[in-house]
Chains A and B, each alone.
Chain A
Amino acid sequence: MARTKVKAWKSETPSLAGILWKLGTLGITDAIAVTMIMVLVAQELWLATAVSIVVLLVVNWIYLRKGGLPAKYLAPGVLFLIVFQVYVLLFSGYTAFTNYGSAHNGDKALAVQTIKNAAYRTLDGEDYTIALVKSDSTGARGFLMTSNADGQVYVGEDNKPKVLIPEGSYTLSPLCADKYDEDIENCAHAAESATGYTTVKPESLSELEKRKYSSLRVEIDPNDPTIGIKSSDFTIALPVQDTLQYDAEADTFTALTNDDYGTFMAGDVFKPASDGYFRLNGDIDSQKLDGGWRVEVGLANFEKIFTDVQLREPLVKVITWTFMFAFLTVLTTFILGLLIAFLFNHEKLKGKRIYRAVMILPYAFPGFLSAYVWVGLLNRENGFVNTVLLGQTPGNEGNFPWLLEENPARLAVLLVNLWLGFPYMFLITTGALQSIPSELNEAAEIDGASAWQNFRLIKLPLLLISIAPLLIASFAYNFNNFTIIYLLTKGGPNDSGITDYDVGGTDILITFVYKIAFSGTGQNYGLASAFSILIFLVIATISLISFRRTKKLEDIV
């Protein structure tokens, strides 16, 4: 019956408004996509460009062809699923097998660039204020250099020694050589032009010309090509020495000189090592150059989780507490929710609706808000809980340390989570209770069951059938309940003994992983991703076992 209907609808000619609407929407989508592709092309991101073009074509094909109705409904959802879920999952999964992190946060090209940028050192000797010039006779590029030490003026051309310009053959700039010296009368002035040379303004140069000027090297010592006077910013020139040379073909750095800090000696060759650094002879245990890149490290991150002595103690503690936290949260919220549901399910109770609405309020407020309010309420010195509910002296530092010591903080986290979580349990148990047929209740009463027996033997098993999967879901949710922990205690108080890892008393696995990945200074995305994979496995296993169990519950009926 339904099938014929769909067929009939399909063969109908679409209305004009329908076509226009379709074209308009598709047109806007295409426009955005084409803009995106152009930007990607401009940034030379070819893979992303190719993927975008394919997606664009597929989307257009789906909506412009006849038929294929299901694809028209599913396409946007699937697309977003791929972008925001599948890709993210695959990327985290991949990251777990890399050393992605603070010191390995880019590709190799970036690392090579970094090393090249720092592959020089400045030498003692005169420095010069310079102007860029071109020889009128030969057309050679050069620096018009005014010594900052004695005011002598020279011209320096590429790979030639500097040549002194006699007084009278050059003109001094009316401005101070040091731009920020405001004493124009007494400051040193630098030459701005010389006879036989044309002064060139750096702003007017093309990128190519700029590069030629910045690679210009005025010779100091004819026997040593590594040293020379250079300028990278066209305002000053200094004697510098190249320390490392990159050979793009061999992919190696060769040291041209001894390093002041003992990192390398002249002649040392640095090759890419398997840990994402250029190391001496590519040997993983030897000296490295600063500047790492991201590489795949296989199972090293997982190995670290299981073998790092520093990590072991905090990890055991965190795992134990994570299970405790998730289990106790589900237990307490369920019990409280169930009790209240029973109470408000009583037929003779008046004003049930109002009570129920009030009970749902903690659930209706955004958790972010409530958590912050609770932080204030639980303040040691002046919080409402201590000063009013527990009657302690306001401002006293000896008051109950709710969030400041480990066990109180754990208690606080559980209590606040109970406050936030019981309305949910109350809601679902109320719903489940109402779905239990009242005949069962009456039958039990007629058979002489006490209220407790009625609850324990009839209502609870029936409730659990529908609620058990939700309890498991709640466990899985709280296992990763980042928000409540992070907003209440940030995982603290930090009292985990003397270890490298920043781990606190209420840290659950997910907040611990967050700290490894993002907080502090030594980010380690690889290790954090490896942890996330393990967390996923734990939750998946628990859920799987539990769902199997609940199936058995269903057999009771």
Chain B
Amino acid sequence: MKQTTRKVVGLIAALGVVGAGVSIGTPASAASTLTVWADKGTIDTIKSRVTAWDNANAEYTVQLVEQDFGLVRDKLKTAVPKGQGPDILAGAAHDWIGNLVAANVLLPIDANLPNNFKDDFVPGALQAMKYNGKYYGVPGWTENIAILRNVKKAPKPVKSVNDIKDGELGVNYSATTSDPYHLYPFQSMFKAPIFTTDSQGDWTNTVGMGGTNGANFAKWLKLKGTKFFGPPANAKILCDFLNPINKTKKTGLIKYWVTGAWNINAIENGAGACKTGLKIGSGYAIDPFPTGPTGIKAQQFLGIRGYLMVASGPGNTTNVTAAVDLMRFMSSEATQFSLYDNFNKTPANKAALNRAKDNPVIAGFANAANTVPMPNSPAMDAAWTIWGKAQTRIIQGKEAKPDVAWATMVKTLQATINKTK
């Protein structure tokens, strides 16, 4: 028996040495790897440019790791405290920044951006990457919504929202929490901005959509109701927009569609049940939003998809030099023009955008843009659910007194924001 024990000890020791070899080998090679997390769509978009950077920088290897767009933030918050986060989060929506900063997962890069770099972008794009005075990333491409018009059904752009008849408008909003993003242009027609702005034009944490203006918007929402905005989560908007009007079947009635560049592919090539697409110019046009019932010009949110610098957690060193270099490469004119050229992404880089303006779609959305950067604070995060709920309930006629419901929403939201201060 004793001999057996000795053998066992020997065996354990031998296996231990093998194990040691394996574990010591791993951290050494990790030093020169840059890890980038991105959702599938973003990976498809940026892959070739990232590879180009990788090839030009022999001392680094870039690893693109696919993450679910909806879950990546949670994952980041779990990974970073353990020192397991990536170096860069790519394709991130800029309105995530405040929430991620509050969760200790982002690293400011102000000290890594030269002065002239800051002039490279369209207005608002780099500001969108700024939170509490610090830049946490660089812009990749921009997104804004516009009115897409079926030229055959409506030959001329619509000037006032009063001229849009019931059933002619297609707008995505869901039965659950509405979609304040798509409805914001209408809200802005009443001068009821989500938050107030300070003297520098930056968003504050004070809810700005209360008062008379907000009440007027709420009343208007109820007045228009589902007849105007359509039933929620209408999956048939695309077909109804593309197909000719059929009065007996009541299909194809939609003339105007509130949407962004992400639906252009479906419109031009058709999708699902409606296979015939439309061409820009002869088939559809991209228009600015009409003015409000009292003639006020509408505003949309400017959304930026960008590259965020991830903090590495204590005890670990991020490869800031290489990560910033890759980020600057991704925000350069050459890269952004390439992303436009191959994937129709509207460049945030000014020079690239100018080169891309021959494209009628890019030009159309740029021309339609009267944008404000979407707020990126945690206060904005707190707002989406309750704000959307109030809108949906009012549209669906579930609030007898829309102005009272709206005021309740504003009050509750402000209380929530103050609580987290």
Docked complex: B288-340 residues within 8 A CB-CB of A: 311, 313-315, 317, 320-321, 324-325, 328-329, 332-334
B233 to chain A, nearest CB (A): 8
Which stretch (B73-81, B156-164, B253-261) binds chain A?
B73-81
At the interface, yes or no: A487 with Cβ under 8 Å from chain B? no
Query: Across the two chains, which residue of chain A brings its CB closest to B394?
Result: A498
**Are A102 and B77 in touch, CB under 8 angstroms?**
yes
Whether A26 touches B104, Cβ cut-off 8 Å, given contacts A493-B175, A494-B176, A498-B386, is no
Q: Which residues of B contact A233 (CB under 8 A)?
A: 111-112, 320-321, 324-325
**Are A180 and B23 in touch, CB under 8 angstroms?**
no
Binding site for B on A (CB under 8 A): 19, 23, 26-28, 30-32, 34-35, 38-39, 42-44, 60, 64, 66, 102-103, 105-107, 109-114, 117-118, 120-122, 126-127, 129, 148-149, 178-180, 182, 202-203, 207, 230-236, 238, 240, 260-261, 263, 288, 290-293, 310, 381, 395, 397, 404, 492-502, 504, 518, 520-523
**Are B111 and A107 in touch, CB under 8 angstroms?**
no
B329 to chain A, nearest CB (A): 6
Whether A122 touches B110, Cβ cut-off 8 Å, given contacts A34-B16, A105-B81, is yes
Query: Across the two chains, which residue of chain A brings its CB closest to B323?
Result: A233
Q: How far is the CA of A495 from the CA of B286 in the complex (A)?
A: 34
A135 to chain B, nearest CB (A): 23
**Are B177 and A494 in touch, CB under 8 angstroms?**
yes
Q: Which residues of A contact B390 (CB under 8 A)?
A: 498
27 CB-based A-B contacts, threshold 8 Å? A23-B8, A32-B19, A35-B19, A42-B24, A43-B83, A105-B77, A105-B103, A106-B81, A106-B104, A106-B313, A110-B104, A112-B314, A113-B313, A114-B104, A114-B311, A118-B132, A120-B110, A126-B115, A127-B114, A202-B321, A235-B112, A238-B115, A260-B133, A310-B412, A397-B231, A498-B412, A518-B74
Q: How far is the CA of A43 from the CA of B316 in the complex (A)?
A: 10
Q: Which residues of B contact A234 (CB under 8 A)?
A: 321
Q: Which residues of A contact B8 (CB under 8 A)?
A: 23, 26-27, 60, 64
Whether A495 touches B311, Cβ cut-off 8 Å, given contacts A26-B8, A232-B111, A235-B325, is no
Q: How far is the CA of A126 from the CA of B8 in the complex (A)?
A: 69
Q: Which residues of A contact B400 (CB under 8 A)?
A: none
Whether A238 touches B324, Cβ cut-off 8 Å, given contacts A38-B20, A103-B102, is no
Q: How far is the CA of A292 from the CA of B81 in the complex (A)?
A: 12
Q: Which 8 A-B pairs have CB atoms at the shortest separation, nearest pair first?
A: A35-B19, A106-B81, A31-B15, A494-B176, A180-B332, A114-B104, A34-B16, A233-B321
Q: Which residues of A contact B355 (CB under 8 A)?
A: none
Please give 5 more A-B residue pairs, beta carbons under 8 A apart, in addition to A310-B412, A494-B392. A114-B311, A178-B114, A233-B325, A236-B114, A290-B101
Q: Mark B372-391, 1 if CB is under 8 A from A, else 0.
A: 00000010011011100110
**Are A113 and B311 in touch, CB under 8 angstroms?**
yes
Q: Which residues of A contact B409 (CB under 8 A)?
A: 498
Q: How far is the CA of A404 from the CA of B378 in the complex (A)?
A: 30
**Are B23 and A38 in touch, CB under 8 angstroms?**
yes
Q: How far is the CA of A127 from the CA of B317 in the complex (A)?
A: 25
Q: Which residues of B contact A500 (CB under 8 A)?
A: 382, 385-386, 412-413, 416
A163 to chain B, nearest CB (A): 22
Q: How far is the CA of A504 from the CA of B409 in the complex (A)?
A: 17
Q: Mark B1-23, 1 if CB is under 8 A from A, else 0.
A: 10011011001100110111011
Q: Which residues of B contact A207 (CB under 8 A)?
A: 317
Q: How far is the CA of A114 from the CA of B19 in the complex (A)?
A: 35
Q: How far is the CA of A44 from the CA of B83 in the complex (A)?
A: 12
Q: How far is the CA of A182 from the CA of B420 in the complex (A)?
A: 47
Q: How far is the CA of A501 from the CA of B413 in the complex (A)?
A: 11
Q: Which of B107, B315, B421 contacts A117 (CB 8 A)?
A: B107
Q: Which residues of B contact A129 (CB under 8 A)?
A: 114
Q: How far is the CA of A38 from the CA of B24 in the complex (A)?
A: 8
Q: How far is the CA of A60 from the CA of B5 in the complex (A)?
A: 11
B393 to chain A, nearest CB (A): 7
A308 to chain B, nearest CB (A): 10
At the interface, yes or no: B279 with Cβ under 8 Å from chain A? no
**Are A522 and B381 in touch, CB under 8 angstroms?**
yes
**Are A110 and B175 in touch, CB under 8 angstroms?**
no
Q: How far is the CA of A523 from the CA of B102 in the complex (A)?
A: 12
Whether A109 touches B325, Cβ cut-off 8 Å, given contacts A103-B102, A114-B104, A122-B110, is no
Q: For B110, B111, B320, which residue has the most chain A Cβ atoms within 10 angstroms? A: B111
**Are B77 and A235 in touch, CB under 8 angstroms?**
no
At the interface, yes or no: B152 with Cβ under 8 Å from chain A? no
**Are B103 and A493 in touch, CB under 8 angstroms?**
no
At the interface, yes or no: B116 with Cβ under 8 Å from chain A? yes
Query: Across the two chains, which residue of chain A brings its CB closest to B23?
Result: A38
Q: Which residues of B contact A236 (CB under 8 A)?
A: 112-114
Q: How far is the CA of A149 from the CA of B384 in the complex (A)?
A: 43
**Are B320 and A179 in touch, CB under 8 angstroms?**
no
Whether A494 touches B175, Cβ cut-off 8 Å, given contacts A121-B110, A232-B112, is yes
**Are B19 and A110 in touch, CB under 8 angstroms?**
no
Q: How far is the CA of A114 from the CA of B311 in the complex (A)?
A: 8
Q: Which residues of A contact B176 (CB under 8 A)?
A: 492-494, 504
Q: Which residues of B contact A202 (CB under 8 A)?
A: 321
**Are A203 and B59 in touch, CB under 8 angstroms?**
yes
At the interface, yes or no: B27 with Cβ under 8 Å from chain A? yes
Q: How far is the CA of A518 from the CA of B75 in the complex (A)?
A: 10
Q: How far is the CA of A118 from the CA of B135 in the complex (A)?
A: 10
A3 to chain B, nearest CB (A): 25
Q: How far is the CA of A26 from the CA of B325 in the complex (A)?
A: 49
Query: Across the two chains, which residue of chain B brings its CB closest to A236?
Result: B114
Q: Mark B89-116, 1 if CB is under 8 A from A, else 0.
A: 0000000100101111001101111111
Q: Which residues of B contact A114 (CB under 8 A)?
A: 104, 311
Q: Which residues of B contact A230 (CB under 8 A)?
A: 111
Q: How far is the CA of A520 from the CA of B389 in the complex (A)?
A: 14
Query: Across the two chains, which residue of chain A brings its CB closest to B330?
Result: A180
Q: How far is the CA of A288 from the CA of B22 in the complex (A)?
A: 45
Query: Across the two chains, which residue of chain A brings its CB closest to B136?
Result: A118
Docked complex: B201-233 residues within 8 A CB-CB of A: 231-232
Q: Which residues of A contact B264 (CB under 8 A)?
A: none
At the interface, yes or no: B398 with Cβ under 8 Å from chain A? yes
At the interface, yes or no: B359 with Cβ under 8 Å from chain A? no
Query: Across the two chains, which residue of chain A brings its CB closest to B332?
Result: A180
Q: How far is the CA of A109 from the CA of B80 in the complex (A)?
A: 12
A530 to chain B, nearest CB (A): 17
Q: Which residues of A contact B81 (CB under 8 A)?
A: 105-107, 110
Q: Which of A112, A127, A180, A498 contacts B115 (CB 8 A)?
A: A127
**Are A109 and B314 in touch, CB under 8 angstroms?**
yes
Query: Across the two chains, which residue of chain A brings its CB closest to B22?
Result: A35
Q: How far is the CA of A296 from the CA of B227 in the complex (A)?
A: 52
A45 to chain B, nearest CB (A): 10
Q: How far is the CA of A178 from the CA of B329 in the complex (A)?
A: 11
A283 to chain B, nearest CB (A): 13
B334 to chain A, nearest CB (A): 7
**Are B328 and A180 in touch, CB under 8 angstroms?**
yes
Query: Across the two chains, which residue of chain B brings its CB closest to A30?
Result: B12
Q: How far is the CA of A406 from the CA of B12 in the complex (A)?
A: 62
At the interface, yes or no: B408 with Cβ under 8 Å from chain A? yes
Q: How far is the CA of A51 from the CA of B313 in the complex (A)?
A: 24
